[in-house]
Structure 1
C-alpha cells in the first residue's frame, strides 16, 4: 500500500478536516459523534490556524486520511488524528516522521490519559512522559510528553560532533 501524501491543508477542505478529526477522536471511545462536536471542531480549526497552527493533511487520492497540527514556535505536536479506515497501516508513523522533519530537535505533545492506545504508541516511538495536568477547557487529564533528538557523543573526545 502506498502511503497518502502529506501536504499543507487548504482552506476549502476545513469541513472535511473537521470530520476526519471527529471520526478519529470518536474512534478512541472517549466521545460520541455529534453535530455539536463537529461544529465545535469546525469553529476551532480557523481559530487554531490564526493562533499559529501549521495544519497538514494526509491526502489519499483526494480523501483526507489524517490531519496533523503543529505549532512550530513551541515545538508542539498539537493534533495527530488518523481516520479509522486508515488506522493500523503505518500512517501515524509516517506523520510522526514528517513531524520530526519539521521539528528535528525536540517535540512536545499532550495526550488524554484515558487514550492508552495513543500514549503507549508515543512511548514506543521514543516520547518520554514529563507530567500530568488537567486540560482547563475539556477537564480531561492530560499526559505531557517530550521527544528529544539523541545527541551522539564521540567516545574518544567526549564531545558532540
Structure 2
C-alpha cells in the first residue's frame, strides 16, 4: 500500500469515497436533518477544504482509503468498499497514527456507528467519553453526540 499526501487530482475520488463511507457508517445512526445535508456536493466542498490535511492510500493504482488529520485529531478515516475486510484498515490506521505523531491523540465516532467503534477498540483506541461534537455542514455547525476515543502514541505510551 502506498500512502501519500493527497493532491487536487484525488479530490473527486476522495469525495466519492467519503460520501459513500459516511452514509454506510452513519446513515442508520445520524439525525435525518444531518443526513439530508450530506450530499455528494457537500463532500466535494469539504474534501477541497481539507485537502492539505489528507493522505490517500493506493493499491495497484486504486484508492483503497484515506485519512485526514486536524491537529491531535484523526479527523476522518475511511476504507473503500472493495478493500473492507482485507486488512487494509489496520495497515492504514498504522499509517494514520504515524502521521499523528507522539502524544495523546483522539478521534470522534458518531454514537451508533458500532462497526467503526469496534475497529477503533481493536486498534487500541480507548472510549474516553460521550461528548457533544460539532460537525461542519454547508448550513453551519451541527452538534451531534459522539464517542471520543483516545490513544497515547509514541515512545511515552
TM over 0.5: yes
Aligned to 1:90: 87
Correspondence 1:7 to 2:31: no
Residue 66 (1) aligns with residue 65 (2): yes
Once residues 138 and 60 of structure 1 are traced to their aligned partners in structure 2, the CA distance between those partners, rounded to angstroms, is: 35
Q: C-alpha distance in 1, partners of 2:44/2:126?
A: 31
- In structure 2, relative to structure 1, the CA distance for the partners of 1:47 and 1:96 (3 Å cut) is same
Displacement of 1:27: 2.3
TM-score, length basis structure 1: 0.77
Instruction: Identify the residue that residue 122 of structure 2 maps to in structure 1.
Output: 124
What corresponds to 1:16 in structure 2?
13
Residue in 1 that maps onto 2:44: 42
SS of 1:25 mapped into structure 2? helix
Q: Across the two proteins, how many residue pairs are aligned to each other?
A: 144
**Mind listing any 5+ residue stretches in structure 1 that lack a counterpart?**
153-161
Q: Which has the larger radius of gyration?
A: 1
Q: In the alignment, what sits opposite 2:148?
A: 144
Q: 1:98 to 1:28 in 2, by over 3 A?
A: same
Normalized per residue, the structure richer in strand is: 2
What TM-score does the superposition give when structure 2 sets the normalisation length? 0.79
Q: Secondary structure at the match of 2:47?
A: helix
Q: Which range is displaced more, 108-117 or 20-29?
A: 20-29
Tell me, what secondary structure is at the counterpart of 2:43?
A: helix
Q: Secondary structure at the match of 2:112?
A: coil
RMSD: 2.5
Contact 1:20 1:65 in 2 (8 A): no
Distance 1:143 1:29 in 2: 13
Residue pair 1:108, 1:145 contacting (<8 A) in 2 also? yes
